[in-house]
Amino acid sequence: MGFNKFLATKVKTLTVEQQDVLSGFITRQEIISPIKKASSHKLPGEDGFTALHYKAFQELLVPHMEKLYNFILKTGNIPPSWNNSILLPIIKPGKPQENSYRPISLLNQDYKIFSSILVNHIKKNHSTNYQ
């Protein structure tokens, strides 16, 4: 059984109305919200921009992000940089042995913001039929 067939047996189909809502346009307010909520103390992704950068330059960035995010929704094409991450080994607390490291991936902030918006779209439109 192929993966698509397996998924088809496990995942229910969205109604046309749910598909329309999920594929709707992203607004500036939807972009501003995750920027405000983002932790300013986390390490940046490959592009070097932290959440603090997005907070400081929000007025300049949000209109461009709105265009980019809606272009992505329309075309399905994401920036190539969103396929990259920085993988860091972090030692588990209280375990200084060589084998006590866990990996963390540092992702670009613009990708995290976009992902957060999509998650919010899904949460808003999630039906109890899909739990």
Whole-number Å distance between alpha carbons of 12 and 7? 9
pTM, two decimals, is: 0.78
Mean pLDDT of the chain: 85
CA angle (81, 83, 89) in 5-degree steps: 105
- 9 falls in which pLDDT band (50, 70, 90)? low
Q: Give residues with Cβ within 8 angstroms of 113, minimum separation 6.
A: 31, 34, 35, 38, 54, 65
Whole-number Å distance between alpha carbons of 131 and 128? 5
pLDDT in tens, 93-114: 877 777 788 899 999 999 999 9
Going from N- to C-terminal start, the domains of the chain cover: 15-130
Half-sphere exposure of 52 (CA within 13 A, CB side): 6
- Residue owning tokens 């918006």: 117
